Structure 1
């Protein structure tokens, strides 16, 4: 699946700002910046890898900008992976365009974009919470693969990388989303909840029903940042 031209121009246009902003943020163990309506939170977390101990600041950066309305193209039969994106040239995983899409049945679906860095990895679990506490999250058994230099999206396929809050979220609410990857690193940020519209037709699942067979990977509390 190829990224549509408007979406690519928007992301690449933000890249210099995002990289410069996040580089400053990662100089401290914990930092926060405002980006329009949304706030992006970056916290470091060390993890064991094949080559030893790695710090999150060496692996992940978050694009510090509000999530635009998604403009996905139809895709089926697996996780969505696009062609290489120039913003991945710095060799770090980029997380951007994170939003919760409120469905008509009271559930809400996660949509997020990942641009692979130097290391192949997979998104295996997600934690979503409000100020009132953690929310239940249903997910697919299959992990979302993130390939170096390519773009993958949570919410683009119903059989891999699908995450939905069955109930408890409505449009306008802000949540804290924590991502857990198979190499042990984690990332946390805040995201807004928006009403599902025609623009979200390809954000899956579209309701809070059980996501396929199998047992999904549980988010480990020890990963909290």
Structure 2
């Protein structure tokens, strides 16, 4: 089954059709069988398997939060929410209007690494601590190291939050937080996921060409839902 990806612009997110920033991601995703559409209508987002909110600038309303909860917990969607460091443009505050409902928060901090970084830049974090989305469709490991630039850390609020990516032990948060960079809440019954990332620029045209960022990005976007509708009722698909 082809993954249908909705790249939201309902909250003034960075647009994937911006050729300068995201043309490589869009081209490579489609080359690998993913269908990627830019979506500006909230009600149409639910028609897709994966829904991306890449640096939303408008807070989520209570109704929208409830919609996302239903998409993940009942309909088996994957929702990916991406922020940025230092609470730039109040991005942490905006992301947390949604993320808190899935048991995590984006911290208003910055994570640096003086040792494991790209070309000596402490804000360009290089890490091998990739716990999820490090395998392709054939279950082969194809991600060993990625670069995450200008990232905030993530604070888990619930014990079942999964580590997707953390920084190397040499990294530090300027607020003393644990350097968890990407985290996830899993809905085991529906097969849904809610993923929160501390940065939104690991898959832009600069970063995606470095290390295994491209493969990680494709693995992250890909989603095969466990649910389908038969006779008006949802049933679990065997994958």
Fold similarity call, TM over 0.5? no
Higher helix share: 2
